[in-house]
Amino acid sequence: MNPSGNGWIKLLLNKTEQYSSLWHLPLHEFYCELRKSGFIYGSNIAAVASNIETKDLTEEEICKINLWFSFYYIYTNFNPTKLSFSESIIAFYKSNNAYKTSFLNELIGAKENLLLVEKIIDKRIHIDANIITKNFNYFIINALLFLDVLAYKQFLESNTEISLYTKRFESLIEMIVIMVFNLKPEKSEYDVSLMKLFEASLRYHDDVELGYEEGIEFLKNDLEKYYLIDVVCMASWSDQLIDLKEHAFLSQLKVDLTLSESIIDESVIQINQFYDNYKDKIALLHSKNLVHSFYDNSSKLVIKLIRRNSKRLQKELRQSKDALWILRQSTQRKLTDDEQKRVQIQLLDIFKSIPSLAIFILPGGMLLLPLVIKLIPKLLPSAFDDNRIEE
């Protein structure tokens, strides 16, 4: 599967039975799995579905998968409408005033609903779509994507315009995060970076202002409360420590939200474990200059592309051997219609592979290949189409 190409959602929808155990999880358990994957923290280390191989995927590709799984879980368990999955996602984003002009209008042209959903997800996960800025920025992925999931659930259950809900929740998060940061006598590089990330992830700025009590009353269900607690833990965590003042704030928040002590303890333990286990992979925990950041991001991308594309080329060569065997057989006997069709397809693929191989030879060719795959997928061999569904 290639979440950077077209057709990856259709491929996942054809395999929903393989992930049936996820759809049947209680809501809190599914949320915990999302947290373990890093999606809740804005650092996607793994796919929420453990049977999806992510070794050769970029973080943004993993993020797309996790966002899709989140949406589909909500659709499967909280959908009283008759809309299809893709129709419900499109209707959800259309219902949000933030996307009516600056967002959805840029995505016109997708002939199929599923392709439009892929474009929506691709655009939604990025803070900045500029590829140069992405390389030089510490943070690529939007840190508050779970807000979209909560708003989508609200939309399905109420079938109403959702922008006010999103504005209020963002305002609550902004207020709580600032309160936590003000508890810190000194701000670490982690604190400064996280604040910038939160600010960049917000869609609304100063549109709605909530007081603390009003904000607490706004939260109506446990899922919203769990998420707020985890955001507070992210804001509190600094130098591998949630200090006494921050823990006291969490305890008071627990009382105000009528949550059990175990929920707070679990949230603190989970973020400590996550950051400890993946400290070398999380941009928030690094303080590097722009050159090092660019080098690291580019190197990781090249390594993943080498792995991914070497497998594709090996597959293409294996298919070509099959074509050569059929051609040898044609000198001894008449080929069947099926064999003639197979050799025609594979010979065409061999010819197509010539520009693909040339891309590898060019300076920076490994970085150009995904762009070519995205823009002109029909010019590349069939082995390069990870999202192909065999009929």
Quick one: pLDDT at residue 6? 82
Question: Is the pLDDT assigned to residue 166 strictly greater than 90?
Answer: no
Residues 303 and 211 in one domain: no
Higher pLDDT, 156 or 210: 156
Residue 203 forms part of a structural domain: yes
**Residue 228 contacts residue 257 (beta carbons within 8 Å):** yes
- The first and second tokens of residue 24, run together, are 């049947």
Residue 389 forms part of a structural domain: no
Quick one: pLDDT at residue 202? 77
Q: Which of 28-32, 210-214, 322-326, 370-374 has the lowest mean pLDDT?
A: 370-374
Cα–Cα distance between 92 and 329 in angstroms, integer? 56
- 285, 308, 331 — which closes off a domain? 285
Instruction: Give the range of the structural domain holding residue 361, as residue numbers without chain letter.
Output: 290-384
Adjacent-strand bridge partners of 238:
241
Residue 273 forms part of a structural domain: yes
Percentage above 70 pLDDT, the chain: 67
Taking residue 85's Cβ as centre, other Cβ atoms within 10 Å add up to 19
Among 72-76, 92-96, 180-184, name the most confident range: 72-76
Residue 69 pLDDT class (50, 70, 90 cuts): very high
**Residue 150 contacts residue 227 (beta carbons within 8 Å):** yes
Residue 2 forms part of a structural domain: no
**Residue 166 contacts residue 97 (beta carbons within 8 Å):** no
Quick one: pLDDT at residue 136? 39
Cα–Cα distance between 107 and 123 in angstroms, integer? 9
Percentage above 90 pLDDT, the chain: 16
Residues 368 and 225 in one domain: no
Question: Is the pLDDT assigned to residue 219 strictly greater than 60?
Answer: yes
Total domain count, the chain:
2
The number of angstroms, rounded, from the C-alpha of 131 to the middle of its chain's C-alpha atoms is 17
| Helix H or strand E encompassing 319 | helix 290-330
To the nearest 5 percent, what fractions of the chain are helix, strand and coil?
Answer: 65, 0, 30
- 258, 285, 312 — which closes off a domain? 285
- Tell me the average pLDDT of the chain: 75
Residues 232 and 312 in one domain: no
- Mean pLDDT of the region 96-113: 59
Residue 65 pLDDT class (50, 70, 90 cuts): very high
Residues 276 and 295 in one domain: no
Quick one: pLDDT at residue 179? 86
The number of angstroms, rounded, from the C-alpha of 243 to the middle of its chain's C-alpha atoms is 31
Cα–Cα distance between 324 and 313 in angstroms, integer? 16
Residues 112 and 46 in one domain: yes
Quick one: pLDDT at residue 298? 47
